[in-house]
């Protein structure tokens, strides 16, 4: 056994014995807590890594650590050690005075066979765990009951350490464990839509956390906490800048700053990526063209890649938005998306980099249904991308709406690895003030069956590579992180970051289980908290769908800033930026006919799915108006006509928010006052805004349908003109 040291984070490292390179062996007793710890003011900065003792209400034990042997050489090992020290000490330190140590329960051993002779001696089978996977196993080591976390590489051990901390935080006993974990998706990244002036497009949590002006001289400790939070949920990369990219990020001055951030994230297994502006060779390189087939342009990108990698050897690669919403791209030179992607792919390939090429493309000059355009442009290119290219596809064909059917590209490009793009920030789900837990949305899409290879060809199996045998796989989440003290703008929006990471690691996890896990770590293990909070979270996304426009309505928000209702939005620069283009309501009915008789978008799905979406009787009602234009009196499954059903959904949404508010009010005293008060205030905002959405939408659609409201339904308090006249010139997050 290595020598025991007292648990003092500051000195543990300095006194490490050289003989054993990386083993964390913690001996701790089990301390039964006498009662829930006193509630302390919290501002949300700690996220789900509060390491609060699970509390007596969980009826389980928390470790009271007595001694620690810690050996850590590499940066990743040190990060692991620090986290375990921090976590275990806080978990035990939270025990109230008078808690009694009842038994000596054993230790915790974390490492790899290469770094720890003790782990090597155990001879655990680590095959199939890859670089990032880990095993957690209850074992007897040197006569002590021990929880062993073993991995092939340090980063796997880091992830395993976070898993143990999660078990402890959620009040689960460290007994009889035999856990094997490997990530199902290789590239698990955040996409920051952050500009270099710290403005965050579609960001509702303050400024960008990247303090570009002070970098690289000032390395905000927040970057380390960011990396800790991401590593705790398995996120292994981040794209620092907006896809609407500024070429300057590729200049030497910024590349130094990028390298400084990368240095802080690296010990936590995170790589840094950049959004590349396609026209950069012209803007910062002085070339006359950015044509991807031009030898000078190709040379410029290769040299640029060499420069990036010289500063940052494990740089991840580039993300590109090209020929979309005014961004430059290969089509400016008559070249294809594959030509553009491959040129960049060739530049980063010698360094092991990848290119994530976005499929979010549409053009107002294209007369076809916007929902069809990405498929039309990309499917013919299947098989023509380099091996290190991923095509990044949004979850639905329009744009991160509260509900969309899965994007028809999933399953339609078997020779190309497609990566998922989810939005974590809530551009269309109430910014950061509305409580909307997005994991059910993510889960719904991941579980959707493309049927391209028969039943079971789920979107999850497309993106994890198992359907078509791809090793390079990826998933991206548009970040909701900013400079706000609580990171995400609201306490509950932290759950969307958390859930994204957990589903990126394992797309089969259930959104309810993730909600429970997050609630336990973020608020309390008390079942009187967990059950109602999980209930609120699980109802919340459907509430947003209901009060913003249910039954397949989409893109009915305010123009530009996307804040609040705007079903009347029409005119302006392009039809497919209006609401009337999407809902097509007239005196006879409502909905976008995407059937074979209409835009024929249904035919982009595999035949069994297309058949269903083409048939008004078989289309799930939540997608009715997405695929069909139906009369206002279309009979619904409830027996009600469509108009009545739609109106009642608006009311149902407002009602759910009212219930959430009441539930939260009932938790007063069980949640620390600071966080409780902010959530309560935000729920009040949400209730007002849900009511506004409902009133404005009903006023508008009634002006089109001309139908009376169902019996007992309150009319909107204002005439339609009142809602249409509201303006929000300074709403946050708009495109600059």
| Residue of 136, 235, 158, 206 whose CA lies nearest to 503 | 235
Q: Cβ closer to ligand GCW: 461 or 555? A: 555
Least separation in angstroms between residue 432's CB and ligand GCW is 16
Task: Please state, in angstroms and rounded to a whole number, the distance separating the CA atoms of residues 203 and 192.
Answer: 9
Question: Are 511 and 541 in contact, with CB atoms under 8 Å apart?
Answer: no
Least separation in angstroms between residue 546's CB and ligand GCW is 22
Task: Please state, in angstroms and rounded to a whole number, the distance separating the CA atoms of residues 540 and 169.
Answer: 25
Task: Please state, in angstroms and rounded to a whole number, the distance separating the CA atoms of residues 562 and 205.
Answer: 16
Query: Which one is catalytic: 225, 248, 283, 399?
Result: 399
Query: Which one is catalytic: 83, 132, 427, 542?
Result: 427
Strands 178-181 and 418-423: unpaired
Q: ∠ CA 159-161-162 to the nearest 5 degrees?
A: 65
Please list the alpha-helical segments (H only) found in 549-638: 580-583, 607-614, 624-627
Q: Cβ closer to ligand GCW: 360 or 410? A: 360
Q: Cβ closer to ligand GCW: 132 or 427? A: 427
595: left (phi over 0), alpha (psi -120 to 50) or beta: beta
Least separation in angstroms between residue 682's CB and ligand GCW is 23
- H helix count then E strand count, the chain: 21, 16
Question: Are 357 and 277 in contact, with CB atoms under 8 Å apart?
Answer: no
Q: Tally Cβ neighbours within 10 Å of residue 19.
A: 9
Question: Are 372 and 599 in contact, with CB atoms under 8 Å apart?
Answer: yes
Least separation in angstroms between residue 275's CB and ligand GCW is 9
Q: Cβ closer to ligand GCW: 87 or 733? A: 733
Least separation in angstroms between residue 565's CB and ligand GCW is 17
Q: What is the DSSP letter of 153?
A: S
| Residue of 89, 209, 101 whose CA lies nearest to 488 | 209
Who's near 263: CB < 8 A, 6+ residues apart?
Answer: none
Least separation in angstroms between residue 193's CB and ligand GCW is 5
Residue, CB closest to ligand GCW: 399
Q: Per DSSP, what are the bridge partners of residue 669?
A: none
Order the strands of the 178-181 sheet from edge to edge: 62-71, 23-32, 100-111, 144-150, 134-141, 178-181
Least separation in angstroms between residue 238's CB and ligand GCW is 16
Q: Cβ closer to ligand GCW: 8 or 244? A: 244
Q: Cβ closer to ligand GCW: 320 or 585? A: 320
DSSP 244-286: S--GGGGSHHHHHHHHHHHHHHGGGT-EEEEE--TTHHHHTT-
Query: Dihedral of CA 516/521/523/528: which sign?
Result: positive
Whether 283 sits among the annotated catalytic residues: the reply is: no
Task: Please state, in angstroms and rounded to a whole number, the distance separating the CA atoms of residues 131 and 736.
Answer: 41
Q: Cβ closer to ligand GCW: 24 or 359? A: 359
Query: Which one is catalytic: 248, 314, 325, 366?
Result: 325
CA 709 to chain CA centroid, nearest Å: 39
Q: What is the phi/psi pair of residue 260, to 5°?
A: -65, -40
Least separation in angstroms between residue 199's CB and ligand GCW is 12
Task: Please state, in angstroms and rounded to a whole number, the distance separating the CA atoms of residues 609 and 669.
Answer: 49
Question: Are 628 and 591 in contact, with CB atoms under 8 Å apart?
Answer: yes
Q: What residues make contact with ligand GCW under the rule CB under 6 A?
A: 193, 201-202, 243-244, 321, 325, 360, 399-400, 427, 735
Q: Cβ closer to ligand GCW: 637 or 736? A: 736
Q: What is the DSSP letter of 587?
A: S
Q: What is the phi/psi pair of residue 335, to 5°?
A: -100, 170
286 burial (CB, 10 Å; 0-12 / 13-18 / 19+) is exposed
Q: Cβ closer to ligand GCW: 201 or 593? A: 201
Whether 427 sits among the annotated catalytic residues: the reply is: yes
Q: Cβ closer to ligand GCW: 73 or 325? A: 325
| Residue of 720, 707, 706, 705 whose CA lies nearest to 585 | 705
Least separation in angstroms between residue 527's CB and ligand GCW is 38
Least separation in angstroms between residue 207's CB and ligand GCW is 17
Whether 586 sits among the annotated catalytic residues: the reply is: no
Q: Which residues carry out catalysis?
A: 325, 399, 427
């Amino acid at each position: 056994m290595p020598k025991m040291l007292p648990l003092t984070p500051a000195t543990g490292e300095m006194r490490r014995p050289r003989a054993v390179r990386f083993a964390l062996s913690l001996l701790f007793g089990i301390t039964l807590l006498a009662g829930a710890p006193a509630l302390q003011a919290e501002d949300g900065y700690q996220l789900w890594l509060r390491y609060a003792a699970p509390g007596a209400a969980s009826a389980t034990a928390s470790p009271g650590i007595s001694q620690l042997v810690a050996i850590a050489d590499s940066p990743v090992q040190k990060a692991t050690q620090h986290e375990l020290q921090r976590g275990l000490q806080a978990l035990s330190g939270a025990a109230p005075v008078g808690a009694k140590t009842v038994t000596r329960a054993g230790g915790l051993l974390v490492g790899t066979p290469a770094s720890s002779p003790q782990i090597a001696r155990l001879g655990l089978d680590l095959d199939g765990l890859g670089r990032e996977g880990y095993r957690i196993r209850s074992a007897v080591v040197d006569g002590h009951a021990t929880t062993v976390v073993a991995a092939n590489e340090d980063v796997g051990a880091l992830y395993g350490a976070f898993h143990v901390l999660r078990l402890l935080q959620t009040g689960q006993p460290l007994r009889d464990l035999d856990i094997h974990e490997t990530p199902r998706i290789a590239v698990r990244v955040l996409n920051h839509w952050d500009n270099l002036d710290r403005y965050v497009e579609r960001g509702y949590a303050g400024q960008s956390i990247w303090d570009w002006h002070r970098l690289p001289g000032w390395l905000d400790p927040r970057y380390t906490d960011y990396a800790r939070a991401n590593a705790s949920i398995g996120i292994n990369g981040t794209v620092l800048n907006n896809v609407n990219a500024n070429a300057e990020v590729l200049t030497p001055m910024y590349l130094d700053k990028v390298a400084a951030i990368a240095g802080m994230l690296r010990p936590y297994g995170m790589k840094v990526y950049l959004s590349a502006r396609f026209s950069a060779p012209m803007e910062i390189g002085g070339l006359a063209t950015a044509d991807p087939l031009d030898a000078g342009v190709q040379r410029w990108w290769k040299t640029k890649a060499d420069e990036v990698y010289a500063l940052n050897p494990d740089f991840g690669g580039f993300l590109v938005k090209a020929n979309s919403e005014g961004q430059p791209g290969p089509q400016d030179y008559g070249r294809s998306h594959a030509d553009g992607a491959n040129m960049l792919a060739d530049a980063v390939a010698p360094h092991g980099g990848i290119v994530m090429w976005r499929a979010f493309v549409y053009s107002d000059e294209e007369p076809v249904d916007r929902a069809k355009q990405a498929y039309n442009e990309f499917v013919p290119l299947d098989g023509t991308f380099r091996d290190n290219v991923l095509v990044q596809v949004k979850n639905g064909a329009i744009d991160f709406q509260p509900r969309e059917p899965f994007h028809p590209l999933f399953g339609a490009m078997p020779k190309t690895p497609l990566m998922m793009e989810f939005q974590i920030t809530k551009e269309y789900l109430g910014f950061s003030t509305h409580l909307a837990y997005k994991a059910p949305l993510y889960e719904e899409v991941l579980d959707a069956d493309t049927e391209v290879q028969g039943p079971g060809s789920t979107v999850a199996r497309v993106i994890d590579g198992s359907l078509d045998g791809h090793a390079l796989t990826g998933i991206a989440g548009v970040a909701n992180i900013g400079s706000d003290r609580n990171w995400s703008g609201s306490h509950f929006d932290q759950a969307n970051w958390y859930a994204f990471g957990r589903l990126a690691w394992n797309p089969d996890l259930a959104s309810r289980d993730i909600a429970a896990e997050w609630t336990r770590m973020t608020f309390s293990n008390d079942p009187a908290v967990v059950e109602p909070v999980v209930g609120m979270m699980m109802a919340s996304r459907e509430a947003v769908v209901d009060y913003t426009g249910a039954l397949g309505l989409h893109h009915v928000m305010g123009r530009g800033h996307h804040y609040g209702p705007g079903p009347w939005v029409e005119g302006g620069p392009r039809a497919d930026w209006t609401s009337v283009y999407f809902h097509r309501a007239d005196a006879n009915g409502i909905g976008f006919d995407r059937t074979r008789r209409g835009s024929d978008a249904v035919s982009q799905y595999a035949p069994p799915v297309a058949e269903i979406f083409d048939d008004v009787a078989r289309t799930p009602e939540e997608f009715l108006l997405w695929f069909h234009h139906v009369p206002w009196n279309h009979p619904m499954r409830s027996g009600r006509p469509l108009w009545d059903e739609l109106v009642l959904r608006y009311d149902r949404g407002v009602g759910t928010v009212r219930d959430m508010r009441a539930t939260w009010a009932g938790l007063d005293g069980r949640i620390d006052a600071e966080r409780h008060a902010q959530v309560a205030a935000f729920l009040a905002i949400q209730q007002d805004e849900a009511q506004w959405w409902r009133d404005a939408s009903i006023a508008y659609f009634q002006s089109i349908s001309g139908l009376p409201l169902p019996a007992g339904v309150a009319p909107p308090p204002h005439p339609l003109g009142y809602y249409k006249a509201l303006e929000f010139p300074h709403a946050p997050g708009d495109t600059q």
